[in-house]
Chain A
């Protein structure tokens, strides 16, 4: 099996559905970095991230038949799988561990737990991973972090930030439009 450097999306999907190793190699070589970066920002520990990415590839492998090209590209599909797997992971195992490691007073103090979360995220930034969101206005950055990496619903965000639901929606839209501009510099 010779390595392939470029496959048409349709061919890739067929190979994937047939569980062909070339599909795995292609997906892994091209997308594992992006998926790893995404999962790392959600679960915030490399150890957890390894496990999440394993689960992600198992899901891609087993559920290739349920991929529907009408709903988006394959890349979007695997990004969504990664995000959901990582958020679920945090909700079950990750969050529980985090709570266990905390002293009792922190355990009951919700605000403190939040600060704790943010410090870890900050430190991920400090080890040298670029955070594109740093280039956004802080209110937009916060919104994307809560919505995309922390898995809050828009309703929950509205309550937490004490702003109307409509504002959450328009602000999210504006944040994404600005993000699009910023991302042009990364291409």
Chain B
């Protein structure tokens, strides 16, 4: 998919409407940083929604402004923390105890000190836990990001391969026993390079491997064995200079010099 197609796919509109899936949104976040066209398309779409809200404005009741301001003013003055952090109670406890009496009452001070200690100890534990949580979350996000980047790279690789004009795409369709299977061979007729996308081929039993064959003037020529890749990935196979068809059979691990024709899975003519 090129950038124009990506922009017109509707994913940007879904994103600004808050409807994109997490995966779509994280890919978009990544692309917008590196592509000014996408960035501009997002800003344009956001502007539509801004204008939409402006055009549909309804005047709020007059008294609402003062009501809201007095509510904002009643909030704790603390500017660094969000009230939803949930450690306000500890703080209140800590603040009231030591200052109330002027006469030095060591017992009370001692209590106050221990309350303070417990409160600060509690807060420390709280933050330690919080920071552990954050670290775990961060690790998960990093892993997710890596996975996304990896599948994006695979897609990019496949895409740039497909754009090569010298590349022939041959669809290998399932034979009689396996009508639903398919695979794709991408064959560069100039450089003789052969790539394979295993699409929906089933898992193989232990000790077995798929083997790709080029049919050259009626004779099967080994084009290499391969393991299944995920749907986005491609495998590089052996070079083939000349062929009239490609086929895939199931063979013992490492491959065979000649194909086991009873284990023919998919085949396609050029």
Contacts and interface: CB of A to CB of B under 8 A. Distances in A.
Contacts of B61: 46, 50
Chain B, interface size: which category? Answer: 35 or more
Given A24-B69, A58-B75, A153-B19, A36 B9 contact: no
B1 interface: no
A13 interface: no
B261 interface: no
Interface stretch (B50-58, B116-124, B131-139): B50-58
A169 B72 contact: no
Nearest to A87: B18
Interface residues of A, number: 51
A104 B236 CA distance: 65
Given A61-B72, A153-B19, A172-B14, A32 B60 contact: yes
Interface stretch (A4-12, A70-78, A91-99, A110-118): A70-78
A103 B105 CA distance: 66
B48 A57 contact: no
14 contacts: A24-B72, A28-B65, A36-B57, A40-B58, A62-B82, A72-B46, A132-B55, A148-B17, A169-B14, A170-B10, A173-B8, A183-B51, A183-B52, A187-B51
Nearest to B33: A70
Chain B interface helix/strand/loop/mixed: helix
Contacts of A90: none
Interface string B49-79: 1111111111111001101110110010001
A62 to B, nearest CB: 5
Contact of A132 (B56, B67, B71, B75): B56
Given A63-B82, A176-B45, 8 more contacts: A21-B69, A38-B56, A62-B83, A72-B46, A73-B50, A154-B14, A169-B10, A170-B10
A76 B13 contact: no
A53 B14 contact: no
B18 A84 contact: yes
Contacts of B79: 18-19
A37 B17 contact: no
Contact of A179 (B43, B52, B65, B84): B52
